[in-house]
Amino acid sequence: MAGKLLIIGFGPGSYEHITKRAREAIQESEVIIGYNTYVDLIAGLLSDQQIVRTGMTEEVSRAQEAVRQAKLGKKVAVISSGDAGVYGMAGLVYEVLMEQGWKREGGVEVEVVPGISSVHSTGSLLGAPIMHDSCTISLSDHLTPWELIAKRVEAAGMADFVIALYNPRSGRRTRQIVETQKILLKYRSPLTPVGIVKSAYRDRQHIVVTTLEDMLNHDIGMLTTIIIGNSATKLYEGLMITPRGYQRKYTLGAETQPLKPHQRLKSEAEPWALEQLEEEQFTESFEVYDEEDEFGFIEEDEEDTGIEEPILLKSSSSPSMRNSLELAMEALQLVSQGTGSNIAEEFNNHLTATQSIFEFAVSPGIANKKLSAVQLIAIGEIVGERGDIEYSPHHQLIVRVQTDNPQRITTELSALGLLLSPIGDVAQIKACDFCNLEKGDSIPYAEAIHNRIGHLEVPKELKIGFNGCGMACYGAVQQDIGIVYRKEKFDLFLGGKTVGRNAHAAQPVAEGIDPEELVELVTRIVERYQKEGHPNERFHKFFKRVKEIEGYRHQEAVGFVIENALCGD
C-alpha cells in the first residue's frame, strides 16, 4: 500500500478557519504528527488516528518520523498552524525527503494543504492593514543570522513595505524586537500605526492597535504577530487601514469621479507609472511611487507567466528591463551614499556568499576545570566581534564563528591544550574536577570513556556524569548515566531525568564494578541506546521503554506526576 504525506496548515486555530480540504485531509489520515498544542487545537476532528506527539518536541524528528511512517505505507498528516509553508513544516519535510533522494515519480506522495497564515488572520482582525505590498519577517535568529534579519528589516523599512513580524519575541529572544523598532524608526514616522495580535482566533485572542513609538509598551510573546503599517496606513475607529495606493485616481466619496472608468487606465492618467517615466528621471529619483493595478484589470497578455527572470546583479539592460533585485540594490546604494557604510555591497555579499557558522564546545579538559589567560585570549581572538561565546550549563563554552576554515580553528585551540567537542545530539562526558586533580586515580577511565564514546551521535544529547569519589559533588547521579568511583570500584546509575520540573536522579543499578570492565560496559550501554533509541528519545525514556539494559532492570521513579512545560513556557 502506498503511503502519503499530507502537510497541513490548519489556520490560526479556530475550527471555522480550517479549510475544507485541511479538515478532510486530517480525517483521512491514519497518523497525525504535530506539536502538542496543535494536536489539542484540532482534537475535535480526530477519530481513531494514531497521534505522535510525545517525545517529539523537535521539528526535525517530527519530519523524519512522518517520512518514515509514510514509507511504511501510512497516510501521515503533519500539522502546522497557519500555513505549513510559512515558517512551518512543509519545507522541513521536503528537506528530509531531498536528503533521502526522493523523486516525485515513484516516491511517496506528498500533498501540501494550504492554510490561512498569521499575516492574513491577524490582518483581518486589525482591519485592512496589508492591502499593498507587504512582507513577512521572522525575528527568530535560531537558524538565521541576526545581521541578515536586521538587513531585511532595514530594506523593508526603506522600501515602505507593510511588514508582518512573526516570532517577534520569546522568553529568551527579547532584544530582537527592540532592535527592529529602532531600525524602522529611521524610515517611518513614530506615529506609524502598528497592530499587535496575540492568539488570533483562539481563546485568548488579544488585539492592540498602537503606534511604532509605543509598540514596546504592550505584551508581545511567542503567539503574537505584529503588523507595521506603511507610510500611508491610517487609523480609523481603532482599525488599521492601508490604502490601495499612494496616488489617487479618484476621490472616494465624491459624487462624480474626475475620470470615467474607461479613462482611468489610460497612460496619461498615470503619470507616475513606469511607462511614463523618462530614464533619467527614473534613476535620479526613487521617490516616485507606483500605483497598483485596478482590481481585476490585469490585461491578459500581461499576466504573469510564472517564469522567473534570472537574477543579474550587474547588468546594463534598460531600466524597464531591470528586475526588482537590481532596483533594490540601486536603492540601497542611494541610501547608503554619504553614510560611510555601503549597505548595498554588504547586502550583495550576503546574497552571493553563504558563509557557514562553525559551532563547537570548548573546555579546558575532562578533569581540568581551569582556563588560562592564553587560552581565553585565543578563543576571544577567534570569536572576534562577530562570533559569540555562550556559557553552557555543561562545563563548556559554546563558540559560534563564521568561517570557511574550521580546521584552522580546531588546530589552533587544540594546540593550546583545549578540548573541543561537537555539540547537539552527541554523548558527552561530564567529569568532576577530582578535587583539584588531587583524587585523580579514576581520571584515566574518564578519559578512556571520552575517547571511546565522547563524540558518538545518539538519538538525543546524552550526558555521562563521572565523579571521582563517593561525595559525587559534581552531580554524576543526576545525569543520564552516572559513574561514581568509590573504594577502587565503580557504582553505576542509569536514567536520570536531567531536565524538566519532574527531573529526578538516575537509578542506582550496580555497585562495585571492576574498573577493567567499566569502559566496555558503558560503551555497550551507549551503543545500544544509539542503535535502538527513537529519534529525540532521551536516555531515561529509552531505559523505561526497553525496561532492561545490560541486565539492569528499569524501576519507576517514585514521585508525583507533573506535566512538563515547554521551553520558554
Q: How far apart are the first and last CA of the chain?
A: 41
- Cα 91 to the center of its chain, rounded Å: 12
H/E/C letters for each residue in 225-288? Answer: EEEECCCCCEEECCEEECCCCCCCCCCCCCCCCCCCHHHHCCHHHCCCCHHHCCHHHHHHCCCC
**Nearest distance, CB of residue 122 and ligand SAH, angstroms:** 5
Our finding on whether 127 is near ligand SAH (CB under 6 A) is no
Which secondary-structure segment (H or E) carries 343? Answer: helix 343-352
Q: What is the residue-wise DSSP string for 407-434?
A: HHHHHHHHHTT-EEE--SSBEEEEE--H
**Nearest distance, CB of residue 125 and ligand SAH, angstroms:** 9
Our finding on whether 3 is near ligand SAH (CB under 6 A) is no
Q: Are strands 109-113 and 134-138 parallel, antiparallel or unpaired?
A: unpaired
Our finding on whether 12 is near ligand SAH (CB under 6 A) is yes
Nearer to ligand SAH, 149 or 506 (CB): 149
Our finding on whether 197 is near ligand SAH (CB under 6 A) is yes
Our finding on whether 82 is near ligand SAH (CB under 6 A) is yes
Give the Cα separation of 42 and 38 in Å (integer).
6
Our finding on whether 118 is near ligand SAH (CB under 6 A) is yes
- The neighbour count for residue 291, using CB atoms within 10 Å, is 16
**How is the beta sheet containing 50-52 ordered, strand by strand?**
50-52, 31-33, 75-80, 4-9, 109-113
State the residue for C-alpha cell 521539528.
59
Q: Are 134 and 120 in contact (CB under 8 A)?
A: no
**Nearest distance, CB of residue 166 and ligand SAH, angstroms:** 4
Give the Cα separation of 138 and 325 in Å (integer).
21
Our finding on whether 83 is near ligand SAH (CB under 6 A) is yes
Residues between 301 and 340 with contacts to ligand SAH, criterion CB under 6 A: none
Q: How big is the CA angle at 115 (ends 110 and 121), to the nearest 5 degrees?
A: 165
**Nearest distance, CB of residue 12 and ligand SAH, angstroms:** 4
Our finding on whether 86 is near ligand SAH (CB under 6 A) is yes
Our finding on whether 181 is near ligand SAH (CB under 6 A) is no
- Selected binder of ligand SAH within 3, 34, 55, 88 (CB under 6 A): 88
Site string for ligand SAH, 477-516 (x = CB under 6 A): ----------------------------------------
Our finding on whether 202 is near ligand SAH (CB under 6 A) is yes
**Nearest distance, CB of residue 95 and ligand SAH, angstroms:** 16
Size of the site for ligand SAH (CB under 6 A): 22
Give the Cα separation of 83 and 121 in Å (integer).
11
- Selected binder of ligand SAH within 64, 134, 192, 225 (CB under 6 A): 225
Residues between 400 and 429 with contacts to ligand SAH, criterion CB under 6 A: none
Q: Are 543 and 525 in contact (CB under 8 A)?
A: no
Which secondary-structure segment (H or E) carries 373? Answer: helix 373-383
Site string for ligand SAH, 158-177 (x = CB under 6 A): --------xx----------
Q: How far is CA 136 from CA 10, 130, 184, 562, in A?
A: 19, 11, 14, 38
- Selected binder of ligand SAH within 176, 224, 363, 479 (CB under 6 A): 224
**Nearest distance, CB of residue 535 and ligand SAH, angstroms:** 22
Q: How far is CA 372 from CA 19, 209, 297, 418, 567, in A?
A: 61, 53, 71, 10, 34
Q: Which of 166, 184, 183, 161 is CA-nearest to residue 220?
A: 166
**Nearest distance, CB of residue 333 and ligand SAH, angstroms:** 32
The cell numbers describing 479, all together, are 545525569
| Selected range binding ligand SAH among 26-34, 117-125, 148-156, 378-386, rule: CB under 6 A | 117-125
| Selected range binding ligand SAH among 49-57, 196-204, 326-334, 528-536, rule: CB under 6 A | 196-204
Our finding on whether 396 is near ligand SAH (CB under 6 A) is no
| Selected range binding ligand SAH among 116-124, 282-290, 410-418, 428-436, rule: CB under 6 A | 116-124
Q: Are 533 and 462 in contact (CB under 8 A)?
A: no
HSE, CB side, 13 Å, CA atoms: give it for residue 351. 15
Our finding on whether 537 is near ligand SAH (CB under 6 A) is no
Our finding on whether 113 is near ligand SAH (CB under 6 A) is no
Residue with the closest Cβ to ligand SAH?
A: 82
DSSP reduced 3-state for 82 = strand
Helical ranges in 50-193 per DSSP H: 59-71, 90-99, 118-126, 146-158, 175-187
Nearer to ligand SAH, 10 or 434 (CB): 10
- Selected binder of ligand SAH within 29, 64, 69, 117 (CB under 6 A): 117
Give the Cα separation of 507 and 385 in Å (integer).
45
| Selected range binding ligand SAH among 76-84, 388-396, 505-513, 549-557, rule: CB under 6 A | 76-84
- Selected binder of ligand SAH within 29, 49, 61, 122 (CB under 6 A): 122
| Selected range binding ligand SAH among 74-82, 95-103, 288-296, 298-306, rule: CB under 6 A | 74-82
Our finding on whether 129 is near ligand SAH (CB under 6 A) is no
The cell numbers describing 558, all together, are 517514585
Our finding on whether 134 is near ligand SAH (CB under 6 A) is no
Site string for ligand SAH, 351-390 (x = CB under 6 A): ----------------------------------------
Nearer to ligand SAH, 216 or 437 (CB): 216
Binding region for ligand SAH (CB under 6 A): 12-13, 80-83, 86-88, 117-118, 122, 166-167, 197, 199-200, 202, 222-225
